[in-house]
Amino acid sequence: MKRSLGRTKTRLLQELERGAKTAAELAERLALSPVAVHRHLKDLEARGLVAYELEKNGRGRPAKRWRLLRDGFCQGVLVKVRARLGREGLLALLLEWYRERLGPLASDPAALRAHLVAEGYRTELVEENGRLLLLQRRCPRLELARAFPELCQAEARAYAEKLGAPVTLKATLAEGGTACRFCLGEP
């Protein structure tokens, strides 16, 4: 029987959800020793939850940039959640998750954009035909969103709640669009 992950490994995974990082970055961010971070990352790698890519940084040894392996584990969990709770139950759970991710963010589009960029999205705000659009040209959860459109729907609902205004999802990368297009305000 597998041991539970424990608090430190869980914190490492949560940090990697925000984007790939080196062990040194993780150690600094979580106030842990680099040796402890390496030990935990090796264990997470053995469990199939993380992997690394070598990143050349000029002279010297390349750094290992660790990232979360989402596909197998997350898809399996989301399939089971959707089977047990139904589509609306999964949507409600994902909405709660997005609310937590957005946290105490100021309720303006520029603050939302800045937050998303820090989360690994390539995002911009543009005005088109008198409407403000939030465009996401890179999504760190794209593979999951292709299998679970509820991710995109929950994201739009969370943005609407945070901004206190209607948000309409016009197109998604998961459906083959060039960007996820969120119309902010009245459609």
This prediction's pTM: 0.62
Query: In whole angstroms, what is the distance from residue 120 CA to residue 170 CA?
Result: 21
For domain 6-68, say whether CATH 1.10.10.10 is its number: yes
Nearest to 168 by CA among 177, 158, 156: 156
Per-residue pLDDT, 4: 56
Q: What is the pLDDT of residues 8-40, one digit of tens each?
A: 988 898 888 888 899 999 999 999 999 999 999
Where residue 73 falls among pLDDT bands split at 50, 70, 90?
low
Cα dist from 122 to 39, 41, 67, 93, 125, whole Å: 32, 27, 17, 25, 11
Q: What is the dihedral of CA 14, 149, 75, 121, to 10 degrees?
A: -30
Residue indicated by tokens 């996820």: 180
Q: What span, in angstroms and rounded, lies between the C-alpha atoms of 43 and 45? A: 5
* 71 pLDDT more than 80: no
pLDDT in tens, 150-183: 999 999 999 999 999 999 999 999 899 999 999 9
Q: Please state the domain extents for the chain.
A: 6-68, 71-184
For the stretch 32-43, pLDDT in tens is: 999 999 999 988
Count other Cβ atoms within 10 Å, centred on residue 67. 16
